[in-house]
Amino acid sequence: MILSWKGDFYSLPFLECVTTVPFGFVYITSDGGGFAVNGYNPHDGLERALKTLQYEYRFKCFHSADEALSFLKEALEEEPILIGPIDMGFLVYDPYCKFKKGADHYVTALGIDEDYIILNDPDGYLQVPLPISNFLKAWKAEAISYKRGPYSLWLVKEKLGTPPVEKLYKDTLVLGLQNLKEKGRKYSIEGSSLYTGPLAIKKLAEDIKRYKLRRWLRFYATFTFQFQHRGVLTVPCLSMIHRLRMII
C-alpha cells in the first residue's frame, strides 16, 4: 500500500518473496494445541525488502503512548505511515477480532483525530475508522514476541535506485537460504513457547507423535502443510507430512 501510494507497483507474491518471510518455520505451543506456520521474523523481512528494493526508511518505536501519537500525527501530515506490528485482537472493525488476539499484523495509517485513526488494512478493510483507545492497545503489541518495542512504525522514504534484476534475485535467494540454515530458537511468551526454524519442526513432530495435538491435525494438514490428494506436495517437509498423513 505504501509503495503503491509512491507510484511503485509490485505484485504481492514478488514482495512476499523479497521479504524472505516465507522461507522459515514457526511453532507456538499452547494447552491442547498450537499454531504452526511457514514464516520468518516479519521485522527482519520488512527491512530486507526495503533494503533490497533500495528504499530509504526509518523504523521507530516509542515507550510512551502520548509520544507515539504525537509523532504519528505530525508524520501523517506528510504521507501515509506503515504501522506494525500490531495485535489483531483489538481491531474492532473486524467481526472476528476476538479470535485473533495475539496474532501480529501490519496496517497503513492514513489520518488521525482525537477519537479515531483511519486505516487501510490489507485484510480487506479500506479507510476504516478505529477508536484511538483500541488502536493504542493493538499498537502496544504486548503479545507480539518479535517486536523491537511498543508503538512501532515505519517511515518509507525515497527510492535510492533500482537494483539489477539478477542482483535482486540473488540477494533474495541468499537471504532465504540463510533463514533455512538457521538452527532455530525458543522464546517464552505469555505462558507458552515459540520455536523457530528446524527446532520448531522437530518440536511440532514430537508433540504430534505424543498425541498432544490431535484436534489440530487437520488444520495443520490443510493450512500449515498443504498437499493435494494426488500427492503433489507444496511444502518441502516430506518427513513431517508423512507423519501427519499417517496419524490422520
Mean pLDDT of 106-129: 96
More confident residue, 204 or 20: 20
- How far is the C-alpha of 207 from the C-alpha of 223, rounded, in Å? 18
55: its cell numbers: 528504499
* Least confident residue range of 13-17, 120-124, 231-235: 231-235
Quick count: other Cβ atoms within 10 Å of Cβ 67?
A: 11
- How far is the C-alpha of 175 from the C-alpha of 20, rounded, in Å? 7
What is 55-159's CATH number, 3.40.1160.10, 3.40.50.150, 3.90.70.10, 4.10.640.10? 3.90.70.10
Q: Where are the domains of the chain?
A: 1-40+161-248, 55-159
Residue 59 near residue 112, CB atoms below 8 Å: no
Burial class (CB in 10 A: 0-12, 13-18, 19+), 107: buried
Phi–psi pair at 61, nearest 5 degrees: -140, 160
pLDDT of the residue at 36 = 82
pLDDT in tens, 48-64: 999 999 999 999 999 99
- How far is the C-alpha of 82 from the C-alpha of 111, rounded, in Å? 12
pLDDT in tens, 160-180: 999 999 999 999 999 999 988
